[in-house]
């Protein structure tokens, strides 16, 4: 019941933010509405139910706090894009630590070449528009691929709904960030903000869901 309640609240928050930001992308309301969804997900991660482990919960919660900072920076991506990328880079390091802390199976490296291939294709597509952000974008893409790999390792070790949620959350994060990168460095398209935020909040909620047992 608790996950459904929080998921419903996050959906409302996402819808409100998409509507508010469509009217004025840098208004105070945009900052509040964007942060609110992540704050709700952070509360969900910290909700006092049976958790996988205190370390896992702490790492995920720290990742969400860093993501919240990234959310606020990226409201003004024209000014604070690098700061936003750094905040999310650090958030992914927290998620990597959490997922690998519970990945007991031998390493399955299949995700790495697939992720590297996708990342290379994305960089090629965006290269001419990235300018000074090329190296940060490569580093960010690499850590995102490792995060998905870590989530896959956790799922492979313990195949159950919460670990599957973390893995799917990692993939949705990749989709969200890919669309955001196309919007930022190539050509914005009509529904890109809605796609970015819908997949982003879903990714974060699924990662927070992975904290809880049962």
pLDDT in tens, 100-138: 988 876 667 778 889 999 999 999 999 999 999 999 999
Mean pLDDT for the chain overall: 89
How many C-beta atoms surround the C-beta of residue 132 within 10 A?
9
Residues found in the chain: 214
Torsional class of 106: left (φ above 0), alpha (ψ -120 to 50), beta (otherwise): beta
Q: Cα separations (Å) of 194 from 88, 94, 181, 186?
A: 19, 26, 14, 17
Task: List the structure tokens of 90.
Answer: 């650090």
Cα–Cα distance for residue pair 214/49, rounded to 1 Å: 9
Report the pLDDT value the prediction gives residue 214, as an integer from 0 to 100.
62
Report the pLDDT value the prediction gives residue 48, as an integer from 0 to 100.
82
- The pLDDT tens digits of the residues spanning 66-77 come to 999 999 998 887
- The pLDDT tens digits of the residues spanning 152-196 come to 999 988 889 999 999 999 999 999 999 999 988 988 777 888 899
pLDDT band at residue 51, thresholds of 50, 70 and 90?
low
pTM of the model: 0.93
- The pLDDT tens digits of the residues spanning 167-179 come to 999 999 999 999 9
Report the pLDDT value the prediction gives residue 106, as an integer from 0 to 100.
65
- pLDDT greater than 90 at residue 14: no
Report the pLDDT value the prediction gives residue 143, as an integer from 0 to 100.
96
Cα–Cα distance for residue pair 26/20, rounded to 1 Å: 10
pLDDT band at residue 213, thresholds of 50, 70 and 90?
confident
Percent of the chain having pLDDT more than 70? 94
Treating both helix axes as pointing N-terminal to C-terminal, what angle do 192-209 and 161-185 enclose, rounded to 10 degrees?
Answer: 150
Q: What share of the chain is helix, strand, coil (3-state, %, to 5)?
A: 85, 0, 15
> Where along the chain do its domains lie?
2-209
Cα–Cα distance for residue pair 136/177, rounded to 1 Å: 13
CB contact at 8 A, 213 and 158:
no
Nearest-CA neighbor of 173 among 110, 115, 113, 108? 115
């Amino acid at each position: 019941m608790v996950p459904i309640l929080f998921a419903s609240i996050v959906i409302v928050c996402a819808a409100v933010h998409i509507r508010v930001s469509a009217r004025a992308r840098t208004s105070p309301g945009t900052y509040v509405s964007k942060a609110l969804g992540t704050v709700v997900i952070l509360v969900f991660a910290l909700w006092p139910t049976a958790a996988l482990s205190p370390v896992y919960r702490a790492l995920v919660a720290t990742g969400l706090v860093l993501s919240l900072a990234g959310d606020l920076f990226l409201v003004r991506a024209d000014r604070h894009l690098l700061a936003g990328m750094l905040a999310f880079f650090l958030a992914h390091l927290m998620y990597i630590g959490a997922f690998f802390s519970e990945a007991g199976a031998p390493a399955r490296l299949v995700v790495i070449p697939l992720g590297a291939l996708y990342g290379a294709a994305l960089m090629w597509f965006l290269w001419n528009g990235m300018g000074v952000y090329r190296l940060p974008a490569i580093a960010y893409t690499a850590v995102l691929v490792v995060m998905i790999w870590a989530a896959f390792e956790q799922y492979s070790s313990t195949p159950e709904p919460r670990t599957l949620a973390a893995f799917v959350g990692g993939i949705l994060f990749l989709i969200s960030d890919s669309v955001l990168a196309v919007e930022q460095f190539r050509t914005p398209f009509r529904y890109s903000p809605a796609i970015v935020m819908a997949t982003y909040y879903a990714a974060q909620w699924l990662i927070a869901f992975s904290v809880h047992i049962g």
